[in-house]
């Protein structure tokens, strides 16, 4: 993640918005999450917002819109390809999880699937395969994208703030460790909360 942060920090503000939004869109529309989860890009974007490279509000808006649009494309791919899409990915564990989630939970799967790494890449397509009404899909998709996008951008911003405070006190090396620990602790907390909800 540090390499991505360094690379993005060298870009101009408008380009950072485009790159982060493009990664989020690609993850949702073209199942790109196996290469780089969009979540990581958003958190890095939040760190850069704390550093003043981009604006947190505009970053959040770009991420939310990209997530909604990307899911819309994924839904359309699933709707048009139907069973051929699911059959072509039958051996993929993430596809099976997404398919089962949509089958059991319906619209709620669209909302909660947004918060599960890798699975979120396939939930929109599975909603399309199952012929969920688009208006219902769009509602839950938009709500999930809003909470996920803003939440991860703020998470990165908070991690960046922790980094700055620690850097002023004990130096750059220890600050980096603190920032990493904050991010890891928040991610672990979110994963545990999600598992508790599903148990």
Residues 70 and 111: their CA atoms lie apart, in Å, by 14
* Higher-pLDDT residue of 65, 129: 65
Residue 132 gets which letter from DSSP? -
Q: Which residues contact 98 (CB under 8 A, 6 or more apart)?
A: 109, 113, 119, 121, 122, 123, 125, 126
Nearest to 176 by CA among 17, 184, 140: 184
Over residues 49-97, the pLDDT tens digits come to 988 889 999 999 999 999 999 999 999 988 888 766 655 554 456 566 6
Distance of CA 140 to the CA centre of its chain: 15
Q: Is the pLDDT at 132 greater than 90, yes or no?
A: no
Nearest to 182 by CA among 169, 197, 167, 163: 163
Over residues 138-150, the pLDDT tens digits come to 999 999 999 999 9
Over residues 153-178, the pLDDT tens digits come to 999 898 877 755 644 554 455 455 55
Residue 34 gets which letter from DSSP? G
């Amino acid at each position: 993640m540090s390499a991505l942060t360094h690379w993005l920090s060298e870009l101009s503000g408008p380009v950072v918005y485009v790159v982060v939004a493009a990664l989020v869109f690609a993850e949702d529309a073209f199942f790109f999450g196996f290469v780089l989860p969009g979540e990581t890009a958003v958190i890095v974007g939040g760190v850069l917002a704390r550093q003043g490279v981009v604006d947190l509000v505009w970053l959040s808006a770009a991420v939310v819109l990209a997530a909604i649009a990307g899911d819309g494309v994924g839904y359309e791919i699933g709707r048009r390809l139907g069973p051929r899409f699911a059959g072509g990915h039958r051996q993929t564990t993430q596809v099976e999880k997404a398919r089962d989630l949509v089958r059991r939970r319906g619209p709620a799967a669209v909302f909660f699937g947004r918060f599960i790494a890798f699975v979120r890449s396939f939930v929109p397509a599975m909603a399309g395969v199952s012929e969920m009404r688009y208006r219902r899909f769009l509602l839950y998709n938009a709500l999930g994208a809003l909470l996920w996008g803003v939440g991860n951008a703020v998470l990165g911003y908070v991690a960046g703030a922790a980094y700055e405070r620690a850097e002023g006190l004990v130096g750059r090396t220890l600050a980096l460790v603190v920032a990493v620990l904050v991010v890891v602790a928040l991610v672990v907390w979110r994963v545990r909360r999600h598992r508790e909800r599903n148990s």
